[in-house]
Amino acid sequence: MSLQIAVTRSPLRLLAYAGFAVPAILLAIDMLFAYRWYPEPATYDQVIGTTIDASGQTVDVVQKRLTVDGEAERRRDTFLGSALLIGGAAAMGWGLKEMLSPALLVGAGEDGVSIRLDGPGNPPRLFPWEEIVEARSGMLSMEGAEVPVLSLRLRDPTMIPADPAGAEADPPWLHVFADDWDHPAHQVAPLLDQWASRVGTKGGEDR
């Protein structure tokens, strides 16, 4: 479909994701290998032999060993450090990929509006113009925070997925979260509403 509008993620938001990943990766490396900033696990000195120092005296050769608590702390650090490293690397890789090859979140063309609602790796869902009764922008309260949304009212509520990714199902309304878009919802909604009206989808319905 030839797109008249294409919405992807905001480059600034993607840079923020990548920026947050850097400290996580650095902390993970320190927890796993260096212990330069992160506290070391508890240890004790164990004598493993003797040697002659520069003055000719016999001195003990000691090696640091983990205490019982230190072994538990090391296991914790290994688990948390590995999780941080994997998560940070994945976030950075995803952010860089999205900046270089952004995924289409919302697209509008002659066939209708396509919206990515089924998570990464799945194709967007197409909502034909004749099924779109109304398009609005607004704010939706989510866990105490106000999130900007693009709201579509559909003629057939069964077209709305029960648990959409990046959206809230409220049949016959579908509220698509727009907080990380490169085009704000209040600019996108009037265009979609106008295009839907051109194909007569409102047909005298009360708005």
Domains of the chain from N-terminus onward: 11-100 (no CATH), 104-198 (2.30.29)
**Structure confidence at residue 139 (pLDDT):** 95
Exposure string of 73-109, with b = 16+ CB inside 10 Å and e = fewer, is: bbeebeeebeebbeebeebbeebeebeeebeebbbbb
* Beta carbons of 14 and 94 less than 8 angstroms apart: no
Task: Look at strands 132-142 and 106-109 and give their pairing.
Answer: unpaired
- Split at pLDDT 50, 70, 90, the class of 2 is low
Give the list of residues 6+ apart from residue 78 with CB closer than 8 angstroms, or none. Answer: 31, 32
Give the list of residues 6+ apart from residue 207 with CB closer than 8 angstroms, or none. Answer: 134
Tokens of 165: 């990714």
* Beta carbons of 36 and 17 less than 8 angstroms apart: no
What pLDDT, in 10s, does the model give residues 56-91?
788 877 888 999 999 999 999 999 999 999 999 998
- Split at pLDDT 50, 70, 90, the class of 14 is confident
The sheet that has 167-170: what strands, in order across it?
A: 132-142, 145-154, 173-177, 167-170
- Split at pLDDT 50, 70, 90, the class of 200 is low
What pLDDT, in 10s, does the model give residues 144-183?
889 999 999 999 999 999 889 899 999 999 999 999 999 9
Helix (H, G, I), strand (E, B) or coil at 108: strand
Q: Among residues of the chain, what percentage have pLDDT more than 90?
A: 58
- Split at pLDDT 50, 70, 90, the class of 39 is very high
The average pLDDT across 92-112 equals 88
In this structure, the number of other CB atoms found within 10 A of the CB of residue 44 comes to 11
The average pLDDT across 25-46 equals 92
**Structure confidence at residue 3 (pLDDT):** 61
Cut 0.75: pTM above it: no
